[in-house]
Structure 1
Amino acid sequence: MFDHEIDYPTAIASYDDDGVAAAIEWSVRHMEDGDTLSVWTSLKSNLRNCAELERLVQRHRNVEHITGRGGGVPTGTGPVLMAWADMDDVGELVRYSRGIRALCVITWNEDRIRPWVAAKKPEILGDGSAWESLGPDLDPVVVEALKGLTRTVNHNNTISAGFEKDQVVGVLLALRDGRVPMDADAMQGWALAHGWPGKNPERLAQYVHDINTGKRPRTRSVIRTGYIDALREQAESGNDDRKS
């Protein structure tokens, strides 16, 4: 039902001279004839924080500046270079990913995007020391649950209401009741890396946080008996396949 995983090249760059230069070179290298390189910042004024990016925008006709504030999106096909974006920003951009040929993110706070890096494993540009440790992996049972939700939920809709909310919350509560550990940030990163658009990855993380703190959001979904056991079997089968 849903096949929207990001399959274009991705990169993460450090915010230093080497990282910015490598990010620009990487983005330009992924341009094709007729493409536009979109340089994203949260606010229009943010571009002044980096002279290299400001010159890039000002000196080239096939480079445009877009902003997150107000919902700026690429106007054509080509790479996107996001300066100082976090996971929520990337999630909003993914909603309009049809014309994106490649995506590079310049960091400002590594912890705000670390789960996405851990899940997506983008090419690392500049100083890669921040990514030597990416944090704990998701429990394989959680991964199988997320795969199932990715296939069954209509991601053109928000998971904050209706059938989509019922499905997501029902699965998360089943994981909690089955004592399967859930990491909210890591699950947001996984969802983002696998194409969940807009605010859905962020909302998923909020549900997980609420459930982990003892809340039980309402859901009309009834999870079948043996669901967690079936997920464990799928996870073990997947591990066996990778070992063979």
Structure 2
Amino acid sequence: MARGFGWLLDLGRNENKRAALLAIPIMDNLNGVIAEVLGDSAVKGLKQGKPFSLNSVVSVSLLTERKDIFRHQGPILVAYPNKKLLDKIDNIREVTDVLVIPWSFGEIQYWIDTWHARELGATENRQAEPAFSDPVVEEALKSLTSRVNLSTGIGHPMDRAAAVDLFRKLKAAKIAYDPSEVRGWLVRHGWESDDADAVKDIAEKISQGRSVRSEMGGWADDIVDLWRERASKS
């Protein structure tokens, strides 16, 4: 945990990264290790909703599952998260950096895979994010993202139908896909976490041959050919 706050101080060399969030599931997570690192006075202030100053450089405010923040321009240090907290953080816009300190890596592996996260101190990879396993599926997801209203995800029946029909067409064309990879791509490209979960659920059911009820999807009969053409040019 001390390394995590050291990470915030390192980022604080950039004046645009001096407003930080400490994200924990519940207030009780402040007790124990965090209190030992920050001290009782800082923890007491955080519990009262007051930010504390880290070495008079970085201002740190508290974020829990119960608090909604839609934008934050600065880094977030996440301690002992569950999926609900990580999803909340994924939905916050304009975040500059995220460091997650988990109870175990297994609990956050899906998040690591989503963001291609690396271990603190590892050599930074400045290459573009790894290519999607099948560029045709990626082109399909681009089409879906352009088509739906991202503020509501697939909440509208027509948007849900578009998602269902998309995966049906991929399956009919014998194009395999990984629902977890699909979810990760959607989160990285502006989808809310809950909406990405809903699309993943549809993708899994169709991949497994299970029935999914929906209205007519509205994709053209030759849409897979178009996705293949776009993929060949990307």
| Fold match by TM threshold 0.5 | yes
Does the 8 A contact of 1:91 with 1:201 survive in 2?
no
Structure 1 regions of 5+ residues with no counterpart?
1-19, 129-134, 239-244
From the superposition, tell whether residues 24 and 127 of structure 1 become closer, same or farther in structure 2 (CA, over 3 Å). same
Q: Which amino acid aligns with 1:157?
A: T
Q: Does residue 184 of structure 1 match 2:179?
A: yes
Aligned position for 1:102: 97
Q: SS of the counterpart of 2:149?
A: coil
Q: Does residue 84 of structure 1 match 2:80?
A: yes
Q: SS of the counterpart of 2:75?
A: strand
Residue among 208, 213, 225 paired with 1:213: 208
Q: Tell me which stretches of 4 or more aligned residues in structure 1 moved more than 6 Å.
A: none
From the superposition, tell whether residues 76 and 114 of structure 1 become closer, same or farther in structure 2 (CA, over 3 Å). closer
Structure 2 regions of 5+ residues with no counterpart?
46-51, 54-58, 124-129
Residue among 49, 61, 64 paired with 2:61: 64
Q: Which gives a bigger RCO, structure 1 or 2 (Cα 8 Å, sep 6+)?
A: 1
1:147 & 1:22 partners in 2: Cα distance? 38
Does the 8 A contact of 1:35 with 1:77 survive in 2?
no
Residue 120 of structure 1 deviates from its aligned partner by 3.0
Query: Which segment is superposed worse, 117-126 or 145-154?
Result: 117-126
The structure number with the bigger radius of gyration is: 2
Aligned position for 1:227: 223
1:159 & 1:88 partners in 2: Cα distance? 20
2:17 & 2:101 partners in 1: Cα distance? 24
Residue 224 of structure 1 deviates from its aligned partner by 0.9
Q: With the length of structure 1 as denominator, give the TM-score of the two structures.
A: 0.71
Residue 137 of structure 1 deviates from its aligned partner by 5.3
* Mapping 1:43-54, distance limit 5 Å: 43-48=26-31, 50-51=33-34
Residue among 113, 124, 134 paired with 1:139: 134
RMSD of aligned residue pairs (Cα, Å)? 3.2
Does the 8 A contact of 2:25 with 2:64 survive in 1?
yes
